[in-house]
With several copies, the nearest count.
Chain A
């Protein structure tokens, strides 16, 4: 017991889930049974139990798949399911994941219906590309149905009520029984051949699926598809879709509905006409008003309201230019005057008066200087001369005469120092202190002293 390995619940559940998942017999299986415990979640997912007398299985159908359902599943409803079996791990329950669900009970007919529908759909008979547009205002409406059925009465009543202007042509056809399909197809072909109508209503009143079956047959679908005249199908009641419905250009839920679709209501048309008329008038009026407003806007535009602006601004521009011209001319003139004034002031600073004064004072100084020097020189010279003269004078040999001596000179100015220098009769000059005496030598004697 101790060595025994215990699995976790998760591991076991995952193991079991894998077993389910790899089993091809549990993939894409078809299952039938009765619905119980049906719940539809707000998300659109459906949860229910499928059961028969002896067993039950949980089933889930996700919203992505429920969209294609043509019916609303209910408890007790027998259904045919298609899907996979797998394990929901959290609860450890196996359950069916349903991909498709159809009601059970029609059996072979239903399968035939489905098969034909798929085939024709793939062939393109139901393609929107081939749908023809219904005429808006048909002048003649064709009705293919039983002339005795309630459907025809409903259709005719409605057409009369809505659109009496259209003509109605009934193409009688069998709508029930084995010959019905061929009869309906023949009527469609006939209507197309006769080309009397703009639109066809093909249908009958409601009934069981077997009663409506003619409209699930290929021949009818092809006749509808081939028809050049647009066809409105009106088979049975609202919930029943036949192959003819798919092939028709438009499907009506009831014959009355088909008649309503085929023709407009006269009153509506009248209203429509009135509406168009109103729109016509309104749009023209709006156009005219808009144009008038546009014109008024232009009339009110600044350019038109204030045309003087055209030249007033220019006038202002001119005035400004003139003001500037005057100002600039004046400024120009003042600038030139200022410049001249500046030069003149600078020139005046260079006035030579000071230079002249300076030069004059230098000149005067020089002049005084030269005069002083000259006077000095003259004085010095004169002084030295005076000195020389007075010295000479002091040393004069003639000073002796001051004391009464005299000097005797011959007539040739030779100083007589000896008697021998003169002879009797010679004229001699005697120089005295205060003058000269001219004398004649009368005699001469030799001085004994000298002897």
Chain B
């Protein structure tokens, strides 16, 4: 998991897509499948976390931007 933490969102998504494709092939041995699945779920979680982080950052930015926003509105009146 530590290695995957260094992945970017896009890289993680790419890996996840590849795992889904592999699983869709159908002939995946059970143990491999569960391993893929586990890995896929980890990647998914990673992606979710990343999205969440991004989401939070955005919220923070929006909050900070609130004052600015109102300032501009005053300007344009």
Distance between A160 CB and nearest chain B CB, rounded to angstroms:
5
Q: Give the distance in Å from the alpha carbon of A407 to the alpha carbon of B34 in the complex.
A: 10
- List the 6 shortest-distance A-B pairs measured between CB atoms, nearest first: A303-B23, A350-B23, A373-B23, A395-B23, A283-B23, A328-B23
Q: Which of the residues A135, A270, A321 comes within 8 Å of B51, measured between beta carbons?
A: A270
Chain B, interface residues (CB within 8 Å), range = 35 or more
Given contacts A321-B44, A329-B37, A336-B30, contact A168 B59 (CB under 8 A): yes
Residue from the list A157, A314, A378, A395 in contact with B24, Cβ < 8 A: A395
Q: Which residues of A contact B71 (CB under 8 A)?
A: 147, 168, 170
Closest-CB distance, B9 to chain A (whole angstroms): 5
CB pair B9 A287 closer than 8 Å: no
B17–A273 CB distance below 8 A: no
Within the assembled complex, what's the spacing in Å between the Cα atoms of A363 and B28? 19
Cα–Cα, bound, A344→B23 (Å): 12
- Which B residues are CB-close (under 8 A) to A330? 58
Secondary structure at the A interface, as helix, strand, loop or mixed, is helix
Given pairs A167-B58, A392-B40, 15 additional interface contacts (CB within 8 A)? A139-B9, A169-B62, A288-B51, A291-B30, A291-B47, A296-B76, A304-B40, A304-B41, A315-B51, A343-B16, A347-B40, A369-B24, A370-B40, A373-B23, A389-B48
> What is the count of residue pairs linking A and B with beta-carbon distances less than 8 angstroms?
396
Closest to B62 in A: A171
B53 to A, closest residue via Cβ: A165
A415 surroundings in chain B (CB, below 8 A): 30-31, 34
B20 touches A160 (CB 8 A): no
The answer to whether A311 touches B60, judged by C-beta atoms less than 8 angstroms apart, is: no
- Please tell me if the beta carbons of B44 and A291 are within 8 angstroms of each other in the complex: no
Q: Are B76 and A319 in contact (CB under 8 A)?
A: yes
State how many angstroms separate the Cβ of A363 from the closest Cβ of chain B: 5
Q: Which of A303, A319, A378 contacts B58 (CB 8 A)?
A: A378
Cβ contact within 8 Å between B13 and A339: yes
Chain B contact residues, CB within 8 Å of chain A: 8-10, 13, 16-17, 19-20, 23-24, 26, 28, 30-31, 33-34, 36-37, 40-41, 44, 47-48, 50-51, 54-62, 65, 68, 71-76
Residues of A within 8 A of B (CB): 135-137, 139, 147, 150, 153, 156-157, 159-160, 164-172, 190, 194, 266, 269-270, 273-274, 276-277, 279-281, 283-288, 290-292, 294-296, 298-299, 301-304, 307-308, 310-311, 313-315, 317-319, 321-322, 324-326, 328-333, 335-337, 339-341, 343-344, 346-347, 349-353, 355-356, 359-360, 362-364, 366-367, 369-371, 373-374, 377-378, 381-382, 384-385, 388-389, 391-392, 395-398, 407, 415, 417
Q: State whether B33 touches A311 (Cβ < 8 A).
A: yes
Q: Which residue of A288, A302, A331, A344 contacts B44 across the interface (Cβ within 8 Å)?
A: A344
Contact B31 A385 (CB under 8 A): no
8 A-B pairs in the complex with CB atoms less than 8 angstroms apart: A280-B23, A295-B16, A298-B44, A340-B44, A350-B33, A359-B47, A378-B54, A392-B41
Q: Name the residue among B24, B41, B76 with the largest chain A CB count within 10 angstroms.
A: B24
How far is B51's CA from A317's CA once the two chains are assembled, in angstroms?
11
Chain B residues with CB under 8 Å of A322's CB are: 16, 40, 44, 72
Assess the B33–A329 pair: CB atoms within 8 A. Answer: yes
Q: Which residues of A are found within 8 Å of B30, using beta-carbon distances?
A: 287-288, 291, 310-311, 314, 336, 352, 355-356, 359, 377-378, 381, 397, 415
* Given contacts A170-B61, A321-B16, A385-B48, A299 and B72 within 8 Å (CB-CB): yes
Q: How far is the CB of A315 from chain B (nearest CB, A)?
A: 5
B13, B36, B44, B71: which has the most chain A beta carbons within 10 Å? B44
In Å, the complex CA distance between A281 and B38 comes to 10
In the bound complex, do residue A266 and residue B51 qualify as a contact, i.e. CB atoms below 8 Å apart? yes
A303-B51 Cα distance, complex, nearest whole Å? 17
**Nearest CB in chain B to that of A303: its residue:** B23
